[in-house]
Structure 1
């Protein structure tokens, strides 16, 4: 057949198809192989350009759900010096995924393979609720930050329970926590948390009472001493009623805001250290309502909780304060502004036992944490943040590593 007899537009269409398929194949190969340059300079900028914050979030959850993080991360480099133990639970490393990414336990199995030492799903509410109107997520590019006002959008405890029941394995090396919230229209917050504990407690390693999100009206009021004492008593009673062996009962953690004043922090620390409520740990901290003067992004004035780099110093100081107030007697998970191994190590030095991150994934993508090829023909995979954290913990003159701090913690 001569070219003159080809259908009109045949060559052009064929060229488009070939180029498109080639582009898809190239993208898949670069993404799967862990090309840092491709990820930083092409993939993530393209995602930010063509998808808003919430759509990108949904795509990332789907990728984790279907095992695309990483595409071929079968052999990876472990850092045995980062293995640690808290609450008689083993963690292969102290860096975990904070709540907010996988709100409805859609991607638990995929996230286990992403390189995190532990993962936290939620926040989960008793009844399904849509959360606040869109748009409700804003990237602050110049500030490496995010403002969100999701408002506890949740599939509800029934759906999450079903997914966790299928995915949870007590012997899995990646512990799973569940972050609990209350419904926006609820008139009985204590009942909401009690329901969530009863339904989700058997299928996780720890439960988090979240009373610090700024996006649910009245939620932060539950941090006040009187209300907090009643809430913790209700939650602990619900945990005690779970029909399971004592050693398998989930640990109880409280997540606090970074915007607390000195008196409020002292009240919370005193309450949590009271053996009557048997709180096992703190997560410090949630997003902030504050807006540092140095913010440059056009979205800096949006309502909601600010997370990311601008929160780093505030949250680290908050960790340091709670460590002092609890006299080092309670494990703390440091959260807020962690974007490097150095950031994670600063949280540990301030008093944290474990560290969480989330916002840094918005800009660095999962290549930031997943195991990737280390190059030089070594044939193993490594993680940028784990490698850097390992260097800090190994070379610090004080030898103040996560494992040395945690050796004395056996809370539960």
Structure 2
């Protein structure tokens, strides 16, 4: 099969060139052109302008033979995780040739990609590198060769331009919106006739543009406690506190403003907002990554255990006087230290007598960072909600804060009674990971 992985939102003349190249290869091999079309949320973690059915029609009209949906990924995972999953899916389904477009020679792309493939890390590819997403695809393709003993054969064509400018789907969508949902002539020249026809039909039906479920999203962000917000994937402590400070939300731009106040860039904001829209939990993302880890699709350096071990290492080095940035560099350079991370540890609490009387062993506990930057826990007894700052050694304070800011490492708390009083036992990750590492330690 000849594969293309895309959003196609909408299909424009640059996409047609991709399909034409795939069609050329397919006709020589008596094979088919298959589009792996993102469904639900785009590769940039946003709702689609045109729905899956409309984009499928556009791709088929442009010359594709078959459409395969890719769904359930882009409101949960970053590209560093979704690209390996998508490539593995294509290899397993029999795709041999893959078509993409770039303004950099294949030789240069391979040169850039080889370093990332060797490291097994597909996040943090510098923005200054041209066509960095194509570089990521090349790097992942090389990495997965170790699993499948085969890889996609890449066919890179020049990016299609009109009057020297690259065609931008974002610009096409913006111009249609600003033209009161009519396709202006300046945009029409960028689109094949079939796309124009399908888009106009969808606009007439009221299906375009696709929008977020702002009702559920805003209700969630307006009402969830800090602890419950922290349980949503891709929320760090700063984002949670910015969201609480910015309540109440009625418009999407207000939500964006809070994330930007927390230091989130556009891509991470879209991912976090999409996760909040779908109420995606940390555990849900954690389990998804673990599933693909176990299948050999996610490299060791991006595994959930590695994220946890890095948090412990940085907290350990910070307690020795190293800066957090230096500790991260040391970890990336291969230093792992002598101590294994704690996957279970106890914290004290500041409780009033009547609160302590309400507690019982096994009570579930959630964690968050309050507006004063204190690590806290929250629990609900039969008669009240109790919130308390945590009492922990300095290293464990740093460790827990790094885990809270990890975006997808789940934390579970359980109230236990000890001779010295009530404590909250903190569990990191899932039961299997906890048991494995407690055995190791």
Structure 1 and Structure 2 fold alike (TM over 0.5): no
Q: Which has the higher contact order (CA 8 A, sep 6+)?
A: 1
TM-score by length of 1: 0.24
TM-score by length of 2: 0.22
Between Structure 1 and Structure 2, whose CA radius of gyration is higher? 2
